[in-house]
Structure 1
Amino acid sequence: MSAHVENPGHETVAVIGLGSMGFGMAQSMKRAGLDVTGYDLVQPTVQRFVAEGGRGAGTPREAVRDAGIVVSVVVNAVQTEAVLFGPDGVAAAMKPGAVFVSSATMDPAVARSLSEQVEALGLHYLDAPISGGAAKAAKGELTIMASGSEQAFAAARPALDAMAAKVYELGNTAGTGAAVKMINQLLAGVHIAAACEAISFAAKQGLDLTKVYEVITASAGNSWMFENRIPHVLAGDYTPLSAIEIFIKDLGIVQDMARAERYPAPLAAAALQMYLAASGAGMGRDDDSSLARLYAQLSGAELPGQNKEPHKA
């Protein structure tokens, strides 16, 4: 990068949102030698980060006071906007030349709007949704789909290098990263639905599900989601590593984008209906592999651990 960024505190980072992803991202940056301050609505989580050697803050504004990089790891566009411009919003407290790195999954049009508002304040905005799950976040091995100005990339580089195994630089305007993430989420949501449909169908056939898993993961019908999610079904453990409600949100965004473009997305639409049905059946906060339980309920198939109490978040 050729641009020089006036940002002498570029190695001081604030992480807003210390959930399963944000905590690991904060750990990875701290491990890389960055000075990291964490904030979360759940103060015991902040205390845990402090106990592991990080800094803690009682408010978002306190967290960003000295930060050259602010990494926002919240769920959606509404929460991102609140982090920036809400009652304790960080945009007014960030120092000139600092960069706001937005990791939430959102509609590309919203990402562009937030970027314009942030940049009007003399700050930088990097549209940087993430993929890889909590385990890779903790190892600093995420995939980041980023777009933004050259200055935003330069300012965020220390954090990006610490958090990710792969950083895809997808363009110089916000929204492109968000759009690529939505393509990923379309595939992920459909693949999980297909995997759950298949394993429940196998159960309905009376097959040995462990053997089915072994065969499929060595065959052409395998997918990353089948390989990753079906062990939850085999264990009868639906503790939420990624909840049903996440894909209701994400596939809902896909449908909104598709409708605006007059683009048919029937497979994503069908998958969304299954997630909605699972949520309506009381599984919204359970793991997204709970679609298999829904198929079992609809068909009378028997899955492992079927008589267990469902996880309560």
Structure 2
Amino acid sequence: MSNSQTLAVIGLGSMGYGIAASLLRAGNTVYGFDVNEDAMRRFQAEGGVSGTLSEVAQKIDTLVVVVLNSAQTETVLFGDAGWVPALRQGATVIACATVAPSFARTMAAKCAALGIHYLDAPISGGAGKAAAGKLSVMASGAPEAFSGAQGALDGMAETVFRLGDAAGAGSAMKAVNQLLAGVHIAAMAEAVTFGMTQGVDPAQTVEVISKCAGTSWMFENRAPHIVDGDYTPHSSVDIWPKDLGIVLDIAREARFSAPLTAAALQQFMAASGSGLGKEDDAAVAKVYARNAGLTLPEAK
């Protein structure tokens, strides 16, 4: 393809792998990097290119960072083996982790000082949409960052929200999304298990509520996991203490009370503390079930 680019994706987890595969499918040359060498080998077997940072950094048009948190993002960009100092002038970083707006602004400033564009671009849609190249991206950054990122965004996203010309606005919007998503998952688990105390089968709850005003995207997506007794981690419990913790940190700085977020966070903390951290986040229902003496559906 005449408009193809040379890209690198850092982080080949459930989201990053889907993004890398989508970018590859769009006709780009894509390097994939992860601490999990099996993920790297799998990606290379599907057409990804192998190489080391020193070998490929000067070739990269856009670096897509899909890691867990701010600490990992900063390590990837500016750690002992950081990418930003090695990239060519004018390259673009797309940073996808959920982070505080202040952190995004700091990373943008550090990148700019080295002639690198930084797009604050947290993502939403889950692993399925990542694999399909249909993510929603909440992006903010200088016009040059959007311009440099456009080729990668075309391959990974269905919708790109342009939220401003400075980093931080994208992360602020992601915090709003994560507040709602985390609260909705906890509310879903509470509703399904509450129904069980009244003799309502979880499958029936899903059937009825999905067609009623009480539904939500998270209810319709996660409640079937409980019905199926399948807690394969599409999005794990342990994501939520991190993300809701970020929301509450931002709220604290703004002197804003967020009691629903705090209550949801406690349920995810309880789930993680019970050894459920690596399970699908619908497993927060197990906390409610345990406390109420309920037996959730088993895997079919």
The bucket for the TM-score relative to the shorter chain is over 0.9
1:98 is aligned to 2:88: no
Contact 2:4 2:27 (C-alpha < 8 Å) held by counterparts:
no
Contact 1:201 1:301 (C-alpha < 8 Å) held by counterparts:
no
1:13 is aligned to 2:12: no
Q: 1:39-188 alignment to 2 at 5 Å?
A: 39-57=33-51, 59-188=52-181
The answer for the alignment partner of 1:302 in structure 2 is 295
The answer for the alignment partner of 1:3 in structure 2 is none
CA distance in 1, matches of 2:127, 2:33: 18
1:203-224 superposed Cα distances (whole Å, 9 cap, x missing partner): 1222122112100001111010
What secondary structure sits across from 1:200 in the alignment?
helix
CA distance in 2, matches of 1:143, 1:266: 27
Check 1:169–1:223 CA distance in 2 against 1; reply closer, same or farther (3 A cut).
Answer: same
The answer for the alignment partner of 2:22 in structure 1 is 28
CA distance in 1, matches of 2:194, 2:90: 55
1:38 is aligned to 2:32: yes
CA distance in 1, matches of 2:151, 2:162: 15
Contact 1:12 1:67 (C-alpha < 8 Å) held by counterparts:
yes
CA distance in 2, matches of 1:78, 1:35: 28
Check 1:70–1:25 CA distance in 2 against 1; reply closer, same or farther (3 A cut).
Answer: same
CA distance in 2, matches of 1:89, 1:24: 23
Shift of 1:56: 2.2
The answer for the alignment partner of 1:311 in structure 2 is none
CA distance in 2, matches of 1:228, 1:118: 37
1:220 paired residue among 213, 216, 220: 213
What secondary structure sits across from 1:192 in the alignment?
helix
Contact 2:4 2:29 (C-alpha < 8 Å) held by counterparts:
no
Contact 1:61 1:88 (C-alpha < 8 Å) held by counterparts:
no
* TM-score, normalization by structure 1: 0.93
CA distance in 2, matches of 1:285, 1:176: 30
CA distance in 1, matches of 2:267, 2:57: 40
CA distance in 1, matches of 2:56, 2:219: 39
Contact 1:101 1:126 (C-alpha < 8 Å) held by counterparts:
yes
Shift of 1:278: 0.9
Q: 1:190-269 alignment to 2 at 5 Å?
A: 190-269=183-262
1:290 is aligned to 2:259: no
* TM-score, normalization by structure 2: 0.96
Shift of 1:281: 1.2
1:270 is aligned to 2:236: no
Structure 1 runs not aligned, ≥5 long: 1-7, 309-313
